């Protein structure tokens, strides 16, 4: 029981309608409904043409347009051309700014209040009633329907408006253009007035400052007694001061020289410095010294004479002459020393007197120089203050001149048309053709609408259709394997007329080949574990389960297998009738009732397999299918035949089919293409698994080809291969 319980826990998840979209082949669906799509296309063109005519009569629209140009403006009123080229970002930003200003409700109201707009049919027919004109509602429509946008790669932006009348659309756009330009001009004038007020106040302040500074300059000159505004660098006082500087320098040099003389004389008196030749010559010029000089010279002459007379140097006469010379020289030296010292003392006294006089003169010159310098400094300070005041006045005068020039430039700037940042490039035009409807839009729109609606309905049906039509639909059911696909008899190229005997009588047909392929797949499932008892479950009645069992049995018998086919449908047995055997003979019901076994009631068919019918009507007791006798019979059948195939009733219509599934080794589910739904298949597979049987796979019966479909190609390959063989 444990294996059965584990198998019963395996359930399948039913696919949702959304999952069905995975199996939809758009090309196949479109080709399948090609005629419907062609008809819907013609119908759509007709609907579009009719809509165009109706809209042209009852709801025409004429669009008028005006263009505005973004300019770079002028930086100087005297410029000949534009100040600079604007890039695309600047143009787009400024165009969007101007469009926002144009859409201001005050501008729109001004346009609506214009006489031309209020006389237009657009305004009188919609916005004038007993209570008077409804300006706000008209402005609301302009806000909603007015088209405005920059023109790419240009310095232009446009506004346009569509009405049922050519003249009205032109009138409204022209009024909007005028209102916008007036608003822009008013804004510029207000800005200019604000600038004028600002400049007037600033200019008056500049002139007042000039007057104040001029008064300050006059007061300063008067109060400080400034008599000359000449540069002090060229004044007589500066020249006198420079002369005083020279004299002071000369006296300082003389004082230094005298101080040096006194110091040298004092050093000579102190004996730290030797007498120089000038000192000696000056002393020798003294009469008292000159006498001694003459005496020395006389003594030298006498000595020279005596030496020439007396040849003997040691003569007393010569000795006395030498003695007189030495005495005279000593007296000369003593007197000269005395006179030199006297002269030095006299020089010191005289130098000191001169030095005192020189220093007194220097001090007097220094005082006079200080007075001159102080006077010059005071004069320079006054002149510097005066210069600063004059510089401030000159600056303000230049500022005043610049302000005057700015006023003149502003007046010139405002008088130039090319100074405006926005100008009207093209006035509102009178439309020559309708803006709506346009045939190139309405007719394709009708075509797309009708065709799209038809295509949408077709695909919606395909997406919501849960019927199993092909292998792709089966692939959406998890856990189930497709054993094969059997085409409808009408789709068989070889003209198979009997589904139940396709393998035996129409062996070259596509149906027979499909059955042989199913047997090949089934044999692989049975062979590995010697699973021999297989139950075939149809999802619904008339699925072709009986014919499928007979064809697979014939294919297995042709492959050399011993096959037993058992009719397990006690309610609507049909196997014996399909093979031309008498219905009501002993069969499964009789064996379960104790009348022999399968070998005793089995009938050998022309196809080579054995057949056991449902049995006599009285013996067909459904409850016996789950009895131990059934297990005994199946064990005996597994030993005697290689393959035992049960033809079961629809599992969801007859509960006894699930009882048979619990006794079998495996089950094959059969689906009627284009009829059975995936949810039904999922429930059947879950019921079989819960009964304890393994689902070997699914067989899709009576599949029809579709334009460009999968089956048509496979069926053609089978037929061509059979013809070659």
pLDDT at position 235: 65
In terms of average pLDDT, the best of 40-49, 276-285, 312-321 is: 40-49
CA 718-723-725 angle, 5° bins: 95
In this structure, are strands 62-70 and 422-426 parallel, antiparallel, or unpaired? antiparallel
Burial letters for 111-121: b for 16+ Cβ neighbours within 10 Å, e otherwise? bbebebbbebe
3 confidence band (pLDDT: 50, 70, 90):
very low
- Percent of the chain beyond pLDDT 70? 86
pLDDT at position 76: 53
CA 69-74-77 angle, 5° bins: 135
170 confidence band (pLDDT: 50, 70, 90):
very high
Check: CB of residue 688 under 8 Å from CB of residue 669: yes
Q: What is the pLDDT of residues 459-498, one digit of tens each?
A: 787 777 777 777 777 777 777 888 888 888 887 777 788 8
Q: Integer distance in angstroms from the first to the last C-alpha of the chain? A: 50
Check: CB of residue 7 under 8 Å from CB of residue 684: no
Higher-confidence residue of 238 and 456: namely: 456
The CATH architecture of the domain made up of 62-184+421-426 is 2-Layer Sandwich (3.30)
In this structure, are strands 533-538 and 156-163 parallel, antiparallel, or unpaired? unpaired
Q: What is the pLDDT of residues 395-447, one digit of tens each?
A: 888 888 887 777 777 776 666 555 667 888 889 888 888 888 888 888 899 88
Q: Summarize the confidence of residues 388-396 as an average pLDDT.
A: 84
What is the rounded distance in angstroms from the CA atom of residue 3 to the CA atom of residue 241?
Answer: 136
Q: Summarize the confidence of residues 713-717 as an average pLDDT.
A: 57
pLDDT at position 174: 94
* Residues of each domain in the chain carrying CATH 3.30.1890: 62-184+421-426
pLDDT at position 418: 56
Helical spans, DSSP H, in 313-438: 316-415
In this structure, are strands 132-133 and 666-672 parallel, antiparallel, or unpaired? unpaired
pLDDT of residue 716 exceeding 60, the answer is no
Residues 6+ apart with CB under 8 A from 284: 290, 293, 336
* CATH number corresponding to 232-414: 1.10.287
* Residues of each domain in the chain carrying CATH 3.40.50.300: 471-580+627-724
Higher-confidence residue of 233 and 406: namely: 406
Sign for the CA dihedral angle at 100, 101, 105, 108 comes to negative
What is the rounded distance in angstroms from the CA atom of residue 568 to the CA atom of residue 571?
Answer: 9
Count of CB atoms within 10 A of residue 100's CB? 10
Q: Summarize the confidence of residues 104-122 as an average pLDDT.
A: 92
Residues 6+ apart with CB under 8 A from 322: 303
In words, the CATH class of domain 471-580+627-724 is alpha beta
Lowest average pLDDT, out of 10-24, 203-217, 597-611, goes to 10-24
* Residues of each domain in the chain carrying CATH 1.10.287: 232-414
Check: CB of residue 637 under 8 Å from CB of residue 666: no
pLDDT of residue 69 exceeding 50, the answer is yes
pLDDT at position 136: 92
Which region holds residue 481: left if phi is over 0, alpha if psi is between -120 and 50, else beta? beta
Lowest average pLDDT, out of 270-284, 336-350, 621-635, goes to 270-284
Backbone angles phi, psi at 538, to 5 degrees: -85, 145
Q: What is the pLDDT of residues 327-378, one digit of tens each?
A: 888 888 888 888 888 888 888 888 888 888 888 888 888 887 787 777 777 7
- Burial category of 706 from C-beta neighbours within 10 Å (exposed 0-12, middle 13-18, buried 19 and up): middle
Q: Summarize the confidence of residues 605-627 as an average pLDDT.
A: 85
Chain centroid offset of residue 131 CA: 53
- pTM of the predicted protein model: 0.49
537 confidence band (pLDDT: 50, 70, 90):
confident
pLDDT at position 229: 55
pLDDT of residue 75 exceeding 60, the answer is no
Length of the chain: 725
Q: What is the pLDDT of residues 355-365, one digit of tens each?
A: 888 888 888 88
pLDDT of residue 166 exceeding 60, the answer is yes
Chain centroid offset of residue 503 CA: 69
186 closest CA partner among 107, 111, 109: 107
Residues 6+ apart with CB under 8 A from 494: 506, 508, 509, 510, 719, 722
Q: What's the mean pLDDT when you consider all of the chain?
A: 80
Check: CB of residue 682 under 8 Å from CB of residue 473: no
pLDDT of residue 84 exceeding 60, the answer is no
Residues 6+ apart with CB under 8 A from 307: 313, 318, 321
């Amino acid at each position: 029981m444990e294996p059965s319980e584990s198998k019963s826990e395996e359930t399948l998840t039913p696919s949702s309608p959304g999952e069905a979209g995975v199996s939809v082949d758009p090309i196949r669906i479109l080709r399948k409904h090609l005629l419907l799509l062609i008809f819907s296309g013609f119908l759509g063109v007709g609907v579009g043409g009719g809509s165009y005519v109706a809209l042209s009569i009852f709801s025409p629209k004429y669009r008028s347009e005006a263009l505005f140009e973004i300019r770079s403006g002028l930086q100087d009123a005297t410029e000949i051309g534009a100040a600079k080229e604007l890039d695309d970002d600047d143009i787009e930003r400024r165009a969007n700014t101007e469009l926002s200003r144009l859409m201001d409700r005050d501008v729109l109201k001004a346009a609506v209040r214009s006489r031309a707009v209020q006389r237009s049919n657009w305004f009188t027919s919609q916005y004038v009633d007993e209570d008077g004109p409804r300006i706000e509602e008209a402005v609301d429509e302009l806000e909603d329907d007015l088209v405005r946008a920059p023109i790419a790669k240009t310095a232009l932006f446009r506004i346009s408006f569509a009405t049922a009348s050519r003249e009205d659309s032109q009138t409204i756009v022209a009024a909007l253009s005028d209102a916008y330009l007036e608003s822009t001009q008013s804004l510029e004038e207000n800005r200019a007035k604000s600038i004028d007020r600002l400049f007037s106040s600033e200019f008056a302040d500049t002139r007042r400052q000039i007057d104040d500074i001029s008064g300050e300059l006059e007061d300063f000159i008067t109060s400080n007694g400034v008599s000359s505004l000449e540069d002090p660098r060229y004044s007589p006082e500066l020249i006198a001061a420079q002369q005083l500087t020279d004299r002071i320098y000369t006296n300082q040099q003389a004082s230094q020289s005298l101080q040096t003389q006194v110091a040298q004389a004092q050093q000579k008196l102190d004996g730290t410095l030797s007498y120089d030749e000038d000192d000696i010559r000056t002393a020798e010029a003294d009469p008292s010294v000159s006498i001694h000089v003459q005496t020395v010279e006389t003594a030298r002459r006498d000595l020279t004479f005596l030496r020439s007379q007396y040849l003997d140097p040691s003569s007393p006469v010569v000795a006395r002459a030498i003695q007189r010379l030495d005495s005279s020289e000593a007296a000369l030296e003593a007197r000269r020393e005395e006179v030199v010292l006297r002269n030095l003392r006299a020089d010191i006294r005289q130098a000191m007197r001169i030095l005192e006089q020189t220093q007194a003169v220097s001090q007097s010159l220094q005082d006079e120089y200080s007075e001159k310098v102080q006077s010059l400094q005071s004069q320079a300070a006054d002149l510097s203050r005066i210069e600063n005041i004059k510089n401030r006045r000159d600056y303000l005068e230049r500022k005043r001149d610049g302000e005057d020039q700015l006023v003149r430039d502003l007046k010139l700037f405002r008088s130039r048309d090319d100074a405006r940042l926005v100008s009207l490039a093209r006035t509102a035009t009178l439309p020559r053709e309708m803006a709506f409807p346009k045939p190139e839009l309405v007719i394709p729109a009708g075509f797309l609408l009708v065709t799209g609606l038809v295509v949408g309905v077709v695909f919606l049906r395909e997406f919501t259709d849960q019927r199993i039509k092909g292998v792709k639909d089966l692939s959406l059911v998890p856990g189930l394997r497709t054993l094969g696909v059997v085409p409808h008899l009408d789709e068989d190229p070889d003209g198979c007329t009997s589904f139940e005997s396709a393998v035996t009588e129409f062996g070259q047909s596509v149906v027979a080949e499909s059955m042989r392929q199913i047997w090949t797949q089934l044999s692989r499932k049975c062979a590995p574990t010697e699973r021999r008892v297989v139950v075939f479950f149809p999802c619904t009645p008339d699925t072709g389960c009986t014919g499928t069992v007979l064809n697979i049995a014939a294919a297995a018998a042709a492959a050399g297998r011993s096959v037993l086919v058992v009719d397990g449908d006690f309610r609507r047995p049909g196997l014996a009738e399909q093979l031309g055997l008498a219905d009501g003979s002993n069969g499964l019901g009789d064996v379960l009732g104790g009348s022999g076994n399968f070998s005793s009631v089995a009938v050998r068919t022309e196809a080579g397999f054995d057949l056991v019918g449902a049995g006599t009507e009285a013996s067909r007791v459904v409850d016996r299918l789950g009895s131990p006798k059934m297990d005994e019979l199946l064990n005996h059948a597994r030993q005697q035949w290689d393959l035992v195939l049960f033809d079961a009733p629809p599992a969801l219509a007859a509960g006894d089919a699930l009882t048979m599934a619990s006794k079998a080794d495996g089950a094959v589910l059969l689906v009627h293409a284009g009829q059975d739904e995936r949810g039904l298949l999922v429930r059947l597979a879950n019921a079989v698994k819960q009964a304890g049987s393994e689902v070997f796979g699914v067989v899709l019966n009576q599949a029809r080809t579709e334009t460009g479909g999968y089956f048509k190609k496979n069926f053609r390959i089978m037929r061509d291969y059979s013809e070659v063989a």
